Structure 1
Amino acid sequence: MTEKERNDYFYVCSLIEYIARETKNHRGYIVKCIGQEGIENLLYDAEVNHCLSFEQVCDEVVEVYKIKEGKFDTISECQYDVPSFLDIGKLYSIMIEDCAKEG
C-alpha cells in the first residue's frame, strides 16, 4: 500500500466515523448507505476533500446519500474519555492495511 493510499484510507475512515457521530448512527449503517461505489468515490476524492472541513464533506455526503438522523449516541453519556474521530479513523485504516497485507 502506498503512502497516498494510506492517507486516503485514513481520511475516509475518519470521515465515516465523523458522519456516524454527527448523524448518531452506527458506522455500518453509514457504510451501507454510501455503498461500495460511494466508498470508492470518496477514496478517489480524498486527496482533494481533505483540504475541506470534515463538517462540509459530512454535510455533502449526508445529503447525497440521504443519510437519516439516528439514535445511536455513544458520546454524550460516556463514562471515559472518548477517542477522537481521527483516532478511530487511524485505527480502522491500520486494520484495513493489515487485512490488505494478509490477502
Structure 2
Amino acid sequence: MSGTDGAMEAALKRQLTPPSRRLALDEGTLKNGLGQLVLTLVKLLHELLEKQAIRRMEGGSLRDEEIERLGTALMLQAGEIERLRVEFGLTEQDLNLDLGPLGKLL
C-alpha cells in the first residue's frame, strides 16, 4: 500500500466515523441560560397577571380588600423577580427576548 492509499484510507475513515455526540458545555453558561429562560417566562406571566388584575379592577369585579391583597402580592412578586435577575447577573434587556418577526417578548 502506498502513502497515497494510506492517506485516502484515513480520509475515508474520518468521513465514515460519526461525529462525537458529546457537547462541551460550561456549567456556568448552562445555569445562566436556564435561569434567563425561566426568569423570562416568570416575568411574562407576572405581566399577564398584572394586566388581568387591572382588567378586573376596571371591571369592578374585585372588592377593595382583594385589590389590596393582589397589589401587595404583585409588588412582592416583582421584587423577587428583580432579586433573581440581579443574582443571575441579567439585565432587563436579557429578559426581553427577540422573537424575530414577532418582535420583542416583553
TM-score (norm 1): 0.28
Name the structure, 1 or 2, with higher relative contact order (CA <8 Å, separation 6+): 1
TM-score (norm 2): 0.27
Give the number of the structure whose alpha-carbon radius of gyration is greater.
2
